[in-house]
Structure 1
Amino acid sequence: MALPKVVDHDERRRLIAEAVRRIAADRGLEAVSLGEVAAEAGISKGLVQHYFATKDEMLRYATSTLRTQVERRMTTGGPALRELLVALLPMEETARTDALVANAFVTRAMKDPEIGARFRDGYEELRKVVAGLVVAEQDAARVDAALDPEPEADLLLALVSGLGDAVLLGQRSPGQAEALIDRQLARLAPR
């Protein structure tokens, strides 16, 4: 007698979320539908509906997996301030895809309270990490001790956000964006 197939439900949800992210990065959220996701994931529409009754449920889950991917990229090797800021830029294909997906979700985050809360919470966590790295740089005498770490974290994240968009649009090369980060960090050094 054959044993029943063991299904990894979390893996199936991740497979669906990856399909959502690929579609969002390539064609935007307006192209995401249960049928398009099923085709992209290579599974039936019924199976997608088994896990996500609505497009909204599917999109909300996809945002949680996007955050996990970004966090994984940022924490590789316990980055210092500069390395973290550079890791946030769309310098290579995975980071570029993540940035395109995040940008696709921004408008949705303004209209969907759950996705909006997820984006705000993620930003606050990132802001705390960057502020902590500014403090570490101050302790190492590489950043002026008189600077307030929290506003500096906000400014650095705003810089990276703008540079990320400029790289995506082709207005700046990854090298130019990295040079601008270095320039800003040099401005934070003790005088």
Structure 2
Amino acid sequence: MPTRVDHEQRRREIAAAVWRIAAERGLESVSMREVAAEAGVSLRLVQYYFETKHNLLVLSLRYLHERGEQRAQARVAAQADQSARGIARTLLTELLPLDPERELSLRVHRAYFSRTHSDPALAKLFVGAGTPVEDLLTSLLRRAVLPAGTHPRHEANLLVAGLTGLGLDVLHGRFNPAEVLAALDYHLNRLFGPGPAQA
């Protein structure tokens, strides 16, 4: 009896090969042939599933976003402290390279971001992804008792942009994770009041 192939799983495995190449060598090193070699499959199989390099890059990015959202949701669901501050901290630490999976994700996003300056189609995908983290943080801040004059959306935008930038600084060795987490807790304490630190 022939083995049944899970086509969606195969696509995701090929996308993971794109991530590894992009993280290590940049998106300019991603070719159908290189991805096939990295994934341990034939070039024809990569072409069968994705047809073009553009489709390969776009779908690989979508899978990366999906995986990041699933990981964040799982961490939020698993945390004992379900306070608004705790959820906000969990969401924001997803932007930091605190373990190999999050480091890979940040390196891949950096590679894609660099490519968007010369690839309008990929740039549209970045812009079209919306602002789900900022939206959720804004809703958490609106439920909190904030210092007078605090604008929830502006704070959410600054927190996401700031943690993304600090995550890149950790990759480059400019700051270490403990320093960045201390800065994050400083800002969360300013907004929500003191709370228990969570790794």
Q: How high is the TM-score relative to the length of structure 2?
A: 0.85
Aligned-pair distance for 1:114? 4.1
- Aligned residues with identical type, % of pairs: 39
Q: Secondary structure at the match of 1:188?
A: helix
Q: 2:87 aligns with which of 80, 84, 89?
A: 80
1:152 aligns to what?
A: 155
Cα deviation 1:124-150 (Å, max 9, x = unaligned):
1221011112123x1xx3x32642211
1:106 and 1:6 map into 2 onto residues whose CA distance is: 37
Judged with a 3 Å threshold, the aligned counterparts in structure 2 of structure 1 residues 14 and 63 are, in CA distance, closer, same or farther, namely: same
1:119 and 1:160 map into 2 onto residues whose CA distance is: 18
> Where does 1:11-160 land on structure 2 (aligned, <5 Å)?
11-78=9-76, 80-136=87-143, 138=144, 141=145, 143-144=146-147, 146-160=149-163
Question: Number of residue pairs matched?
Answer: 184
1:12 and 1:159 map into 2 onto residues whose CA distance is: 36
Amino acid at match of 2:114: T
1:93 and 1:134 map into 2 onto residues whose CA distance is: 30
Judged with a 3 Å threshold, the aligned counterparts in structure 2 of structure 1 residues 95 and 77 are, in CA distance, closer, same or farther, namely: closer
Aligned-pair distance for 1:14? 0.6
Judged with a 3 Å threshold, the aligned counterparts in structure 2 of structure 1 residues 184 and 123 are, in CA distance, closer, same or farther, namely: farther
Runs (5+) with no aligned partner, structure 1: none
Runs (5+) with no aligned partner, structure 2: 77-85, 194-199
Judged with a 3 Å threshold, the aligned counterparts in structure 2 of structure 1 residues 85 and 56 are, in CA distance, closer, same or farther, namely: same
1:126 and 1:110 map into 2 onto residues whose CA distance is: 23
2:129 and 2:181 map into 1 onto residues whose CA distance is: 23
